Amino acid sequence: MTKFKTVAIWASALTLMPAVAYAKTFAEIVNGSIVPLGDKIIELIYALAFIFFLIGMVRYFFSHNAESRQQGKYFAIYGIAAIAILFVVWGVVRFLIGILSSFNT
C-alpha cells in the first residue's frame, strides 16, 4: 500500500507541473475557463425562457379549451418576465464588472 501512495503522490505532482510552469494568475484562470462556461449557461437560460414563451403562445392561440388557453397565457407572461429579468440582471452584472475593472487599471 505504501508503494501505491508514493506513486499516486508523484503522479498527481507531475500532472500539476504544467500549471506551475505556466503560473497563471487568478484573472487568467477566470477569463480562460469560468467566463466562457458562464456565458454558455446564460445562453442556455435565455433559450429556455424563449422556448417557455413560445410554448405559451402556441398553447394560447391553438387550444380550444379555456383552461388550456389560460395556462398558455401564464406561460407566455412568465416567459416574457423571465427574459426581462435576465436582461436586467445581465445589465447589472456588466455594470458591476465595468466598475470593478476600472479599479484594476
Structural domain boundaries enclosing 78: 25-104
The answer to whether position 66 is within a domain reads: yes
pTM for this model (two decimals): 0.63
Count of domains for the chain: 1
Closest CA to 86 of 47, 55, 54: 47
Q: Cα separation of 16 and 14, whole Å? A: 5
Look at the block and give the residue holding cell 484562470: 29
Please say whether the beta carbons of 41 and 86 come within 8 A: no
Q: In the predicted model, is pLDDT for residue 29 greater than 90? A: no
The answer to whether position 16 is within a domain reads: no
Q: What is the pLDDT of residues 52-103, one digit of tens each?
A: 999 999 999 998 899 999 999 999 999 999 999 999 988 888 888 778 777 7
Please say whether the beta carbons of 24 and 32 come within 8 A: yes
Q: Cα separation of 90 and 80, whole Å? A: 15
